[in-house]
């Protein structure tokens, strides 16, 4: 049996309807040093972060359960898996972005890993949120591109990006995620975010290469409902200081 509750998704929908912006911090278990993790958690605690995403592109499971336990001890935000591979699924989280890499044409990342994941998801209690995931060129080869063996979509063809997002919604995805890749040199351009946002009824997540508060507000203004920050916080534990959401 799959968990039928959709509390986390419902809250994201409510926030979208109220035009309340959401912010996720991405914690990559392979990059976390357990010794310094508690101080990172305290920084998140005093920040505007609304959701915790856990995951990465690497194939190693490493310390996911432990990271979730430490996170849950101090933080009340929902913990959502953002897995690069089924081995990163942990039933200790609250929900999972059930991703399909719809920008690519690699069947493993469109349906293969999803099928493999079922035995772990069934009876896990995780809220499962189907998410159409689009990798967009961020001027740097990123881990998603390497691991998935797919090319990012060119920003010179915005119509194809919009149509892909629309097709993702028609296929039943409840979220669309525009991803420039972790550590991208450039984030998804605001006009593309705006174009996609105006054409889809579901909440829009944007991440990859967002490095300043100014970038964050620009992308919110363009229509993102939830922004994901990974590298900027890894590089600077004070990154969220002074950031107040709209």
Shortest approach of ligand 1GP to residue 54 CB, angstroms? Answer: 11
Residue nearest to ligand 1GP (CB): 207
Question: Binder to ligand 1GP among 169, 183, 194, 218 (CB under 6 A)?
Answer: 183
Half-sphere exposure of 232 (CA within 13 A, CB side): 25
User: Is beta strand 51-54 parallel, antiparallel or unpaired with respect to 22-27?
Assistant: parallel
Instruction: Please give the DSSP secondary-structure letter assigned to residue 67.
Output: H
Shortest approach of ligand 1GP to residue 204 CB, angstroms? Answer: 13
Question: Binder to ligand 1GP among 145, 197, 229, 239 (CB under 6 A)?
Answer: 229
In DSSP notation, 219-245 reads HHHHT-SEEEE-HHHHH-TTTTTT---
Question: Binder to ligand 1GP among 67, 117, 188, 228 (CB under 6 A)?
Answer: 228
Shortest approach of ligand 1GP to residue 230 CB, angstroms? Answer: 3
User: What SS3 string covers 28-65?
Assistant: CCCCCCHHHHHHHHHHHHCCCCCEEEECCCCCCCCCHH
Shortest approach of ligand 1GP to residue 73 CB, angstroms? Answer: 24
237 binds ligand 1GP (CB under 6 A): no
Cα–Cα distance between 124 and 121 in angstroms, integer?
5
> H or E stretch including 17?
helix 7-17
Number of C-beta neighbours around residue 246 at 10 A: 9
- Token duo for residue 10: 């419902």
101 binds ligand 1GP (CB under 6 A): no
Asked whether 105 and 147 are in contact (CB, 8 A), the reply is no
Of 125 and 183, the one with the shorter C-beta distance to ligand 1GP is 183
26 binds ligand 1GP (CB under 6 A): yes
209 binds ligand 1GP (CB under 6 A): yes
Of 117 and 206, the one with the shorter C-beta distance to ligand 1GP is 206
Of 28 and 127, the one with the shorter C-beta distance to ligand 1GP is 28
Contact region for ligand 1GP (CB under 6 A) — 39-47, 73-81, 148-156, 222-230?
Answer: 222-230
| Angle, vertex CA 238, rays to CA 235 and CA 206, nearest 5 | 65
Shortest approach of ligand 1GP to residue 229 CB, angstroms? Answer: 5
Question: Binder to ligand 1GP among 184, 192, 222, 226 (CB under 6 A)?
Answer: 184
Q: Which residues pair with 177 in a beta bridge?
A: 133, 205
Residues at the site binding ligand 1GP, with contacts judged by CB under 6 A: 26, 179, 182-184, 207-210, 228-232
């Amino acid at each position: 049996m799959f968990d039928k509750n959709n509390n986390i998704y419902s809250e994201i929908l409510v926030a979208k309807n109220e035009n309340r912006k959401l912010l996720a911090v991405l914690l990559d278990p392979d990059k976390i040093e357990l010794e310094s993790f508690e101080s990172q958690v305290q920084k998140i605690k005093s920040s505007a972060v609304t959701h915790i995403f856990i995951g990465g592109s690497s194939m190693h499971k490493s310390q996911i359960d432990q990271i979730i336990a430490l996170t849950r001890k101090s933080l009340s935000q929902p913990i959502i898996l953002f897995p690069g591979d089924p081995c990163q699924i942990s039933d200790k989280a609250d929900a999972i972005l059930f991703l399909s890499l719809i920008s690519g044409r690699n069947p493993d990342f469109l349906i293969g890993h999803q099928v493999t994941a079922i035995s772990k998801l069934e009876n896990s209690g995780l809220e499962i949120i189907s998410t159409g995931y689009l990798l967009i060129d961020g001027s740097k080869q990123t881990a998603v591109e390497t691991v998935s063996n797919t090319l990012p979509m060119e920003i010179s063809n915005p119509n194809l990006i919009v149509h892909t997002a629309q097709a993702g919604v028609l296929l039943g995805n409840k979220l669309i995620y525009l991803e420039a890749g972790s550590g991208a040199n450039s984030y998804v351009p605001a006009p593309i975010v705006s174009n996609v946002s105006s054409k889809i009824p579901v909440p829009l997540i944007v991440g990859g290469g967002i490095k300043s508060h100014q970038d964050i507000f620009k992308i919110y203004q363009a229509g993102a409902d939830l922004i994901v920050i990974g590298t900027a916080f890894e590089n600077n534990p004070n990154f969220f200081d002074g950031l107040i959401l709209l």
